[in-house]
Copies of this chain bind each other. A is one copy, B any other.
Amino acid sequence: MSQEIEIGLGKKARLAYSLDDVAIVPSRRTRDPQDVSTAWQIDAYEFDIPVIAAPMDSVTSPETAIEMGRLGGLGVLDLEGLWTRYEDPKPLLDEIATLPEGQATRRMQEIYAEPIKPELITQRLHEIRKAGVTVAGALSPQRTQELYSTVIEAGVDLFVIRGTAVSAEHVSTDHEPLNLKKFIYDLDVPVIVGGATNYTAALHLMRTGAAGVLVGFGGGAVSGTLNTIGLQAPMATAIADIAEARRDYMDESGGRYVQLIADGGMGSSGNFIKAFALGADAVMLGSPLARATEAPGHGMHWGSEARHQTLPRGKRTNVGTVAPLKEILYGPSHQADGTTNFIGALRRAMASTGYVDVKNFQRCSVVVTSSGR
């Protein structure tokens, strides 16, 4: 691992880069934007666009999951969110959207103290299934053991296990930790698991048989992880490291290609595009989709970290409402702030650098600018 520097005698550190630290540079060839492909496939599931709506209550409801599917992407429902705790969460979503700044965390801690109801998991997944789109739901590693059979019986196409710093080697003294390898092997459904933020953790997750690995802690725009517990995994470095793990794992596994899904910290279309340039196959979006007219958060955005009962590591953030989901994905844009037309922007970036599909675009050149030095 290169770029090591010495913090002080006897303590070395790597330099790590965020997406804001880098920029894509054109090469000598250009192309028409309409000539590039943005298709993405994981396991047997094909999508027009490599975009996944994050399992966050401010982003994905059964309704917006369905709309994401119809628009060519994938929506993942948080199976530990309000939709599986309350029969009708809409009044609570309305309340959260209007809580005064200083009281939001405390009230959300109360609202999310309500137990999860397995029958609501079943009901929500059925609602999405009925619409004919790909069905995906997410659990945290802590609750997977307890709830996964409900999920499987209800029927999902893709199973997402998503937490902060998920590892394949969790140690616990008071309970048997989830054996991810056995769990995934036994399951009939492809699993996406993460977040991983480094080569080793990701390689171990790939070895569990996961179809996709989430890169990042999730919830970039709403995360206070650095401030509260001192941890940070700058995204550009994390993606590039794990792309290398994917290559190495492909070699050791005799050709199994694990999808790399960047998760968190991509608030603008510019950063969304850089994630692919660094090595992502798909991107899980939070705040950009929380800005949709249809978003259940009404322009407020929060992740599961923000409602932790004793150590919240993020907060409800006002990201505003800018356009319908369709315009956020496909435009047209009527401003240049990187909040709409994500796919049009991706097409143009690929065209400006001469690449025909996302896989090839991962090879494009990047520079580190002064913000990243």
Contacts and interface: CB of A to CB of B under 8 A. Distances in A.
**Most B Cβ at <10 Å: residue of A6, A7, A341:** A7
A87 to B, nearest CB: 27
Given A174-B34, A197-B26, A370-B371, A332 B310 contact: yes
A293 to B, nearest CB: 16
* Main SS class of interface, A: mixed
B28 A23 contact: no
Interface stretch (A49-57, A115-123, A231-239): A231-239
A117 to B, nearest CB: 25
Interface residues of A, number: 118
A320 to B, nearest CB: 12
A228 B25 contact: no
B344 A174 contact: no
A326 interface: no
Contact of A30 (B8, B167, B277, B372): B167
A25 B16 contact: yes
A219 B8 CA distance: 21
Contacts of A170: 29-32
Nearest to A275: B230
Interface stretch (A39-47, A60-68, A144-152, A265-273): A265-273
Contacts of A367: 13-16, 232-234, 237
A7 B20 CA distance: 12
A23 B225 CA distance: 10
Interface stretch (A91-99, A251-259, A348-356): A348-356
Nearest to A15: B368
Interface stretch (A69-77, A125-133, A199-207): A199-207
20 contacts: A3-B5, A6-B240, A7-B17, A8-B237, A9-B245, A10-B244, A26-B165, A26-B197, A27-B198, A29-B170, A35-B171, A226-B270, A230-B273, A231-B353, A232-B367, A234-B367, A234-B370, A306-B336, A310-B332, A310-B344
